[in-house]
A = this chain, B = another copy of it.
């Protein structure tokens, strides 16, 4: 047995969207901007900054335009935003967003619960968003929620993923995020799923969005790495979860993922100590975290002072 891992990975920080939208109270815009700017100092190169949904649907992100305009000067960061429809795409592009992310579910049950439409209806509706973005020279990535397990239907057959990826591909999309929204994926399933997907559509970039709901997120990330996947989402302090997926808890914490990757010699370009300071700050602003090992234990590099000698020589 050998273990070959990529030398470099790209981690997209999603807390400003995925984490902040899951908070019960509205985080003041100034604090959001402060956290995004702090994240941008750690070596992070891509941030999902907000979602251009209707303010009534997700009031926590009603300040989308204001947030994006306030961080648009961070030219070394790819600012990504979630858009549910053409109106959202217009708002995002007008605000200065350079990369849109589409979202749909792998199963009809989750799609109906989350977006009140079937998967096919969701895919049909995305055609117009992609066309709008392409006409405006804006990059679009796709995503698939509950790609491995649905809280209503259980394990998701890989054929459903292939259908959706094929449809995204035919729209001209070349990057798809596979989201284990409720942390139901296991490493064997991850292996088999990625093998099938990579065999079928090898010209796409896949990105992994993993939740640690049942403790398997990092093992799933490891398997994805071994398949050559180099794009991962993660959320500072483990914030987030899907408000429409029962039992869905924290995204894998960015500090945990960065630390684990760096310990294995996989370069993230991110300074884990700087990141940990942002995680601590974010936790103190929100009053809680969403599940972060490093916030509790610190990195492996933080050693303790050697015990002094009660030991008798000889």
Task: Give chain A's interface residues, CB within 8 Å of chain B.
Answer: 1, 3, 5, 109, 112-113, 116-118, 149, 151-155, 183-184, 186-189, 191, 195, 212-219, 221-223, 226-227, 246-247, 249, 252-253, 256, 259-260, 263-265, 293-294, 296-301, 303-307, 309-311
Contact = CB atoms under 8 A, between A and B. Distances in A.
A221 B303 CA distance: 24
Given A212-B293, A215-B293, A191 B305 contact: no
B151 A303 contact: yes
Contacts of A259: 214
B215 A256 contact: yes
A2 to B, nearest CB: 8
28 contacts: A1-B227, A3-B187, A3-B223, A5-B188, A112-B307, A112-B309, A112-B310, A113-B307, A117-B311, A118-B311, A151-B303, A152-B303, A152-B305, A152-B307, A154-B300, A186-B264, A188-B263, A189-B264, A212-B215, A213-B297, A214-B260, A214-B294, A215-B217, A215-B256, A216-B260, A218-B219, A219-B219, A247-B298
Nearest to A296: B249
Copies of this chain in its oligomeric complex: 2
Contacts of A301: 154
Contact of A214 (B188, B212, B300, B311): B300
Contacts of A297: 183, 213-214, 247, 249
A117 B311 CA distance: 7
B188 A3 contact: yes
Contacts of A300: 149, 154-155, 184, 186, 214
A212 B215 CA distance: 9
Q: Which 9 residue pairs across A and B have the least CB separation, nearest first?
A: A188-B264, A215-B293, A219-B219, A186-B263, A113-B307, A3-B191, A152-B306, A215-B256, A184-B300
